Structure 1
Amino acid sequence: MTFAQPGGWEVPPSHPGGWPHGPVPLDPSLAPAPRYGTGSLSDLLPAALTGLGLPGHERAFALPPADRVCVFLIDGLGWEVLRAHPSVAPFLTSLLPSSNAGAGKPISVGFPSTTATSLASLGTGLPPAAHGMVGYRVLDPDSGALMNQLRWEPWTEPSRWQPHPTLFVRADGAGVAACQVSAPHFERTPLTRVALSGGTFLGRSDPWERIDEAARRIAEADRTLVYTYYAELDGAGHRFGIDSEEWRAQLSRVDALAQRLAERLPPRAVLYITGDHGMVDVPRTEEARFDFDHDWELRAGVAQLGGEGRARHLYAVPGAAADVHAVWREVLAEDAWVATRDEAVALGWFGPPGTGVEARVGPRIGDVVVAMSGEAAVIASETEPRESALIGMHGSLTPAEQLVPLLEVRT
């Protein structure tokens, strides 16, 4: 079957008799799914709130109780890259062999492994299938436009897009002194509102002042929940790659910041250090960068291209989803797990298998979902020039992107 497009070209037929033009495509059922409910980023705060004595947050993933909890989230800190740089991050590395249950080991983030999705999972304690932040750029079914969930463009009412209360709101309502200490420009962003709001927000531009303020807030009450954040490691990885001196300099700085915070913990406190995703470097070669804007096979039948280079949502022309799925499977072959929307949901990419997705969330997921498996990416050099020029990327299901450390310091 083929179907004509306005430009006069046609989608090539699928190959029911096999894959004569290359390797057999990867089986998406063999992709490593996130550990929702048993060891994912969305389980961290529910376990911490249970330890603070708040009922209703119990899960299979548990952490020892503490009266004062601080979460230091380092954007872009993956498990694999941390373990690969012990001399650059000696303090963080010293926390890896912890014997405490659940700590000192990797946890997974969700899918896609990207900041907006991960922050929503952390702050709400929900998987993407429930909170609805299912990608970097996804379809708003009400407007028909692609919505960038990190930059919140075009504007969409936050409470409509993500209606669930955050765990900071719940903690604050239960008498826990909740606080976020972050860069001032994050205070009023829609992403902060839907993912991290609740309690007190304190803006500090200087990261050392941020760390010191977080330490003060941990000690301010008998029961506290403090969140603080560092973004520059991720930025260095995107611009220069994780195999760069600039990235290593940022990792060294992060290590010093974490040690400073750990040394200032008050009694009866615990510090959890984690990340929102890892990262891989994508070579600047044609073999590693499939350019959607210049590949007629990949463009065929795709009405809108969502997601990001390592995790794509494909919104098909009506009636074209099956052909788009077949073509992308063949073209990407060993470079990606390519699944239909129903397959991705059933396999547990967006939430625990068997739980489905909330009704408002389903249409945001592409008709076809693409998770890159190696070091390649699907870029769009003309329509996404800035993102396409990045060296370090993330978003997929590989351990390098999915696994983040959960490091613990307890007093």
Structure 2
Amino acid sequence: MKKSLISLKVPAIAAILFLSFINISCSSDDNSNIETETPTTESDKKFFIAATQDGATYFLTADDLESGSTTIKGTGIEVVNSFTHLVSGTNNAITALAYRQGNPGIGISFKLDDSHNLTKLSNEFQLTSGYNTVGIFQNSIVAGRTATLSSGNQGAAFYFVDQTSGVVSSKEFESTQQLGNGTVTPTFAGIVDRGNGEWLSAYTKEAENVDSVWVASFDANFNLKRVYKDNRISYSTGRWRSARYSQMANDDKGNTYVFSGSYETSTTKPAGALRINKDAASFDNSYYFNIEEKSGGYRFRKVWHAGGDYFLLEFYNDIEYGNMTTATQYAIVNAANKTFQWIKTGFPSKENITETGWPIAYNGKVYFPVTTTSASPTVYVIDPSTATAKAGLVIEAGGVLGLGVFEY
């Protein structure tokens, strides 16, 4: 069963959540990516909700996201902590993580018990070196960052949350300097499982590569297998303050789409996407998607796989933007066909959105939690084929960190 990562909680008020890098104190806000699943029946699933209120997080389940209402009062599991990421794995495990800039991060994992009731897979755990990118590789939820390692050298520290046991292990990777030509320690953005024993991560060398994109492929032992480089787009990373968001995701066929929102104002490359075909050793030279042209000049910050060839993109509200600019308008692209549609019908206007959470894609629909100036957090149900939406489940809470789904 295929899943991909959900993307980060985004408060859209004053400035407004995969690898690479996300923020809790700068923003309660990356793809990176939406969880996608193919269900078997309508009675073998429970949806997972992480709602927030006054600095606490309430984890609960619901049978339906398309109608009705639910509340955090007297339901679910309360954790007196705030989180920034919600990551759904491939083994019916869901992990909430909190990015705390350079400080140690924290996390907690959940599953369903034999009676299909929500329970903790693990107690709260600590990521000592912190993290700023998250994803899924094989049977682990992965979080990591560039860091000073136990040897005193610069490198990358990664944590692995086993989706069966909840046990957390760590590995250190010291050869990141080779990706920066020995002069720059790169910043990773996104973790994408290729399904062949390798995983991909885009990386930036900051000012060195504003007109190029770089993606590294590693094996399970952190050996560098190859580097994908192309000059048709800018680097593949969404940004907000110190946060970094994954802009890579697989389609249902195992091809990896590498998007670039062209964040840097100095880049000459329009926001767009390239493709690494399944098991290929280089970018597909025949594929290029100019998304900025389709959008009318807008650039995007976050990317989530929305099932099939569809992807959900979060755009800045203004064509001219800076690091604190709000991004609360959304579009659906069909990456294979290179089509673009703004989500307008049935969805709140960008001016009224104050906060969004991690969405999920399930059974051909996208479920997206949105809080507005005039309503409680509401799950909006998006049809990617038409880019239309409708209001679904209302959640009585202060906000919603994100959604997930368990199947049994």
Considering the TM-score relative to the shorter chain, is it more than 0.5? no
Q: TM-score, normalization: structure 2?
A: 0.26
- Structure with the higher helix share, 1 or 2: 1
Bigger relative contact order (CA 8 A; separation at least 6):
1
- Structure with the higher strand share, 1 or 2: 2
> Which has the larger Rg?
1
